[in-house]
Chain A
Amino acid sequence: MLLSVENITVRYGRLTALRNFSLTMEQGETLFVTGPNGAGKSTLLKSIAGVVAPVTGTIHFHEQDVGGQPPEGIARLGLSMVPEGRHVFGSLTIEENLILGAGMRRDKARMAENLASVYDLFPVLSERKDSHAGVLSGGQQQMLVIGRALMTEPQLIAIDEPSLGLAPKIIDQVYDTLTRLRDERGLSLLIVEQSTTRAVMAGGRMVMLRSGELVLEGDARELSKGDALNAAYFGFEEH
């Protein structure tokens, strides 16, 4: 098993953001985490990345307990996080943003290799590699942070709302890239999206959160056939 989250509860002060939540992922799998605003999706990713500490429960990556590990420790294990809002380093150049991801491995040759493969994947980044990342458009920034995550040679990329604030055409491009990475490199993807549309389009397993709790789990396409999806998303009572 690649990732196993068991019964974690996360609190911010008196507010419980995530309650007794569990989740497992296999190598090479793509898992969508969906749910309305404030459901605890970003909190889930932050706990996995070591940015917030759950009050109870355990998180294992490759059978190794990562509870209490700092974010840099988890990144070094092969879990790369692309947080909400992308977080490019605007005052750094595009190339500097990318080589930052390779810093934990002092291996110049491999870094050059990875850099070439990211530029191959996103030629637009290579054209503008010496400009400041702050001048990129939203879609280009999304490509940059995906490329930066790839520079860390991850086994799992956890990506928070990759479609946020992007035009539909650009979102298609982002998802094409993600699908290619999954198919060609066997990369595991944990994708958080507010809407279930993309999960249904891409297929695969989906879990849905609401108010910090798991409300639905299953194959995205199967779930989309009935009313279960909407009912769970909006919290309608069954009649």
Chain B
Amino acid sequence: MTAVLQILFDALSVGSIYALGALGIALIFGVMRLVNFAHGDYIAFCVFAMLWPSLDVVAIVFIGNLPWFLLIPVILGIGAGLSIISEILVFRRLRDANPATMMITSFALGFVIHNVLLMFYSSRPKAINLWSNLSLPVEIMGARIPLLQVITIVMTIVILLALVTFLRRTQFGVEMRAAAEDFTMARMLGVKANRVIMAAFGVSGALASCIALILATQTGVADINMGLPVMLVAFVATVIGGLGSLHGAVIAGFLIGGVSVLLQVFLPLEARPFRDAFVYSAVIASLLWRPQGLFAPKSSKERV
């Protein structure tokens, strides 16, 4: 029983990170048909934003020393800000470009952010001590679960519920969902393109900073490449979930998290190093079964 509980919490907390990442990518894809590969670098940027720029081996924690009730909004603001700035400076000019051009541009933007971090912080991973007492375990029904896992899962649920409420209950949220489904038609009803796209980038960037906070606490390390694996899995999740479907992205994120944790536990020892090969085999199987994704929006067929 405790083992099952342990696995469940592992799966949910890994899945939470993927779900938040997939949601951040799906939000922007919905309104712009852009797969933003710079998303992973937003995550790294938010982690390093907590440190003072220096090439030293030892991290000089700066913003990261703020009490949590200040640190969280500041980091969320940095993520949202970075994302909105990249929309205004880069993606706005490419709005009518074809999706391949936009995707390549997002790669380029990712490299720029990556190299800026490299310049100011060097490529060496640095240890940071963010909320280290959160790694202490708590006992839930006999299982010893790290407090951080519980917080990650609870926070993800809160974030998802808040987003769902926003998207369903507010006029602006309805406008965003409409824009994600059929952007031109939404504009012909008076929905302002710039506002909706900027909001999507803002929320997406804030989601990247949530991941940054979780990863930094979990690993205790600031690494320039730390966003990349999350970004890749999150992208895969948006494809499996059905590009353009927000709830599909979230569910697929949790699915991938669950599958990789289960494989980690149940694969024979000698096969475990190749866990990701099994995960991606499952991904291929899922795409062969439903190439349009598990939760493809009905309208996506009409659009070309």
Contacts and interface: CB of A to CB of B under 8 A. Distances in A.
A binds B: yes
Interface of A: 49, 51, 70-72, 74-76, 80-81, 83, 85, 87, 89-92, 96-97, 99-101, 103-104, 106, 134, 148, 152
15 contacts: A70-B193, A74-B188, A75-B188, A80-B189, A89-B177, A89-B178, A89-B182, A89-B186, A92-B181, A96-B177, A97-B178, A100-B186, A100-B189, A104-B189, A104-B191
A103 B175 contact: yes
B181 A89 contact: yes
B255 to A, nearest CB: 21
Contact of A148 (B171, B189, B192): B189
A72 B174 contact: no
B248 to A, nearest CB: 11
Contacts of B186: 89, 100
A106 B174 CA distance: 14
Interface in B187-206: 187-193
B297 A90 contact: yes
Enumerate the 4 nearest inter-chain pairs by beta-carbon distance, A residue then B residue, closest first.
A104-B190, A75-B190, A71-B187, A87-B185
B299 interface: yes
B178 A92 contact: yes
Contacts, number: 77
Given A71-B188, A97-B178, A134-B298, 20 more contacts: A51-B188, A72-B188, A72-B192, A75-B187, A80-B188, A83-B188, A89-B178, A89-B181, A90-B297, A91-B181, A91-B299, A92-B177, A96-B174, A96-B178, A99-B174, A100-B175, A103-B171, A103-B174, A103-B191, A104-B191
A199 to B, nearest CB: 24
B214 to A, nearest CB: 30
Interface residues of B, number: 21
A49 B184 CA distance: 10
B191 A91 contact: no
A86 B175 CA distance: 18
A100 B174 contact: yes
A70 B186 CA distance: 12
B178 A81 contact: no
B270 interface: no
Interface in B140-190: 171, 174-175, 177-178, 181-182, 184-190
A100 B178 contact: yes
A81 B187 CA distance: 10
A96 to B, nearest CB: 5
Contact of A89 (B188, B190, B299): B299
Contacts of A75: 187-190
A224 to B, nearest CB: 32
